[in-house]
Structure 1
Amino acid sequence: MGSTIDITSAFIAGAPPGELQDVVKDIKALTSDNDPTLIAKLKPAFQKYNEDQLIPVKLPGASDYVLITAYNRVPSSTNKYYDTQSSTSFEFDHSTSKAFGSQSYTHETTHSDLIQSILKSLSTHFAEHYPSQQQTASASSSSGYTVAATPEDDKVAILLSTTRSSPKNFLSGRWRSTFLFNPANGTLSGTLKVDVHYYEDGNVALSTTKNIPDVSVDGGGDGASIVRKVAAIEKQYQEEVNRAFVGMNESSFKALRRQLPVTRQKIEWERVRGYGLGSDLRGEAKR
């Protein structure tokens, strides 16, 4: 059996979209008596989760969101990140998902002009295709994008993420896009991921990934042409996911669904002994 840190780190890695803080509460409830300092020891697990999931975070005093990623982390830091759009750096508490300590910051890169060009075109694409921020009693959504040079400064990372959570409807989901543009040869590669969690009277999770190999960008590799390629790839993937959902709804989900009796009412499984074992459950008419 693994150590407590290994086990709880696995819980964090598997946290559904928008439900990390619920997992943290459960970890605290299960382990507080044994190790009150466990949450602090789990910082590497929280950091990996937040960066892998491209968590959108709202900076203090700002209206837009920036993403937590390995690409826009300040060098030699584990909890400090920067936003190229606002020329700001900030600290991020990985266990509470809160940003603080914003200050002016410009990241040195040879791709500054290209990054600004991409940001300009990406803002339009983002506004047209990603949901706006929402916070109500029944649902919340947060979306953001980040453009930054890779640590080696040889490519430009283009990252988009949106998270929607509706606890009252037992549903949460996240879309993540990670693209890398190589200015040396004008190619774009990337990964797109969708995660959905539905947990009403059960627990159903869907995770799907599409890897994009190097593809050429038409138009000379300026910001507008790169974003057009990004938009085309995202649209194609969304259509593929939609078709897959339709197919699953007509086949896999239908097979999983409980068959309702002729009354069209849900079976009260705690009273199942009171049902006739034959005709009632098969939906056949009683003779």
Structure 2
Amino acid sequence: MATNEEKIKIASGFIKAAPPGEINDVFNDVRALVDDDELFTGSIMNAVEEYNTEELATVTVTGEDGKTFEVLVSKHGQIENDRFLDPKRNQTFKLDHLRQTVSDIEPHTVDEDIEELRKVIEAHAEEYVADRYAEGVSAIYGSNGVITVAIVHNRYSPSNYWNGRWRSVWTLDTATNAVKGALKCKVHYYEDGNVQLETSKDVEDKLSKFSTEPHKVIAKAFVDLIAAAELKYQTALNESYRDLADDTFNGLRRALPYTRTKVDWNKILTYRIGAELSAK
């Protein structure tokens, strides 16, 4: 019998590997398998917190005017285990990681040394996200001389048996002009099977514009770099998976048997092999 430590490790692994849009389903299934709520209120809940921050979960926040808006959850804006920063509105909120509900909204003191540049980059980044991602959500953080741009785009289509998520996180060190990016794509397709794609790419570059130039010049150069790198990555993905379908998979197995028709397993006895098996 597995020890509690082994149960926690296995269950946490399942939760952190949950496909996009399916964390609740995985959580409930794992909870039923472990059958120990005491474990879930402790160590296994840490996996849910890690999943939310790593996958850039989005939550709905209601403003003072009653309007709602989407806010991104990220370790770059994590103040405590359950408190996160909304940099656009300079406020923090408490998050229920399991229910993904927001409460206890408080004002936040910004880093004045970098806030002006952060706001200009935020404006350029939001324009880019609105243009390139149909349902994208972004958050731009600024602290200790570093600007971080986090982008997530979720597309859920359970009626068609697929869900997908694009994530990218970019940092700009204003002291050295060094740019680092981490791009990740995860897709789950589960009609008549279970196929998952998970791919990532790291980028390192340097901004050609220096901190002595106007903020709008730096912001445009930074966002242009992001746009070019993400387009290059997406184009490479499209090409590689087109080749995978046309060449690699065909080399592994035939799409259809020699008869050029799919086997109807409900009528297996009408096939010759089925007749031979039934005779034995």
Would you say same fold, with TM above 0.5? Answer: yes
1:215 counterpart (206, 217, 223)? 206
Q: How does 1:37-48 map to 2 (within 5 A)?
A: 37-41=38-42, 42-48=44-50
Please name the residue that 2:271 is paired with. Answer: 275
2:110 counterpart (89, 107, 113)? 107
Please name the residue that 2:141 is paired with. Answer: 148
What are the Cα deviations for residues 243-262 of structure 1, in whole angstroms up to 9, with x where unaligned?
A: 11211121234445641575
**DSSP 3-state at the match of 1:210:** strand
Deviation (angstroms), 1:271: 4.5
Q: Which amino acid aligns with 2:137?
A: G
Unmatched tracts of structure 1, length 5 or more: 133-142, 279-287
Q: Which amino acid aligns with 1:10?
A: G
Q: Which amino acid aligns with 1:227?
A: V
Please name the residue that 2:220 is paired with. Answer: 224
Query: 2:207 touches 2:221 (CA, 8 Å); kept in 1?
Result: no
Query: 2:147 touches 2:172 (CA, 8 Å); kept in 1?
Result: yes
Q: How far apart, in 2, do the equivalents of 1:106 and 1:257 lie? A: 61
Identical-residue share of aligned pairs (%): 28
Q: How far apart, in 2, do the equivalents of 1:166 and 1:13 lie? A: 21
Q: How far apart, in 2, do the equivalents of 1:13 and 1:44 lie? A: 10
Runs of 4+ in 1 over 6 A off after TM superposition: none
Change (3 A) 1:98 1:176: same
Change (3 A) 1:119 1:257: farther
Query: 1:16 touches 1:197 (CA, 8 Å); kept in 2?
Result: yes
Q: How far apart, in 2, do the equivalents of 1:230 and 1:128 lie? A: 13
Please name the residue that 1:69 is paired with. Answer: 74
What are the Cα deviations for residues 69-114 of structure 1, in whole angstroms up to 9, with x where unaligned?
A: 111112xx10100111112211111122222333332333531111
Q: How far apart, in 2, do the equivalents of 1:98 and 1:260 lie? A: 51
Change (3 A) 1:39 1:123: same
More helix by share: 2
Please name the residue that 1:239 is paired with. Answer: 235
Change (3 A) 1:90 1:277: same
Change (3 A) 1:43 1:252: same
**DSSP 3-state at the match of 2:273:** coil
Equivalent pairs counted in the alignment come to: 261
Q: How does 1:187-198 map to 2 (within 5 A)?
A: 187-198=178-189
Query: 1:60 touches 1:102 (CA, 8 Å); kept in 2?
Result: no
Q: Which amino acid aligns with 1:15?
A: A
Query: 1:217 touches 1:229 (CA, 8 Å); kept in 2?
Result: no
Higher relative contact order (CA 8 A, sep 6+): 1
Q: How does 1:94-133 map to 2 (within 5 A)?
A: 94-108=97-111, 110-132=113-135
Q: How far apart, in 2, do the equivalents of 1:270 and 1:110 lie? A: 70
Larger CA deviation: 244-253 vs 232-241? 244-253
Is the aligned partner of 1:79 residue 2:82?
Answer: yes
Query: 1:109 touches 1:149 (CA, 8 Å); kept in 2?
Result: no
2:166 counterpart (157, 161, 175)? 175
Q: How far apart, in 2, do the equivalents of 1:195 and 1:271 lie? A: 37
Larger CA deviation: 96-105 vs 184-193? 96-105
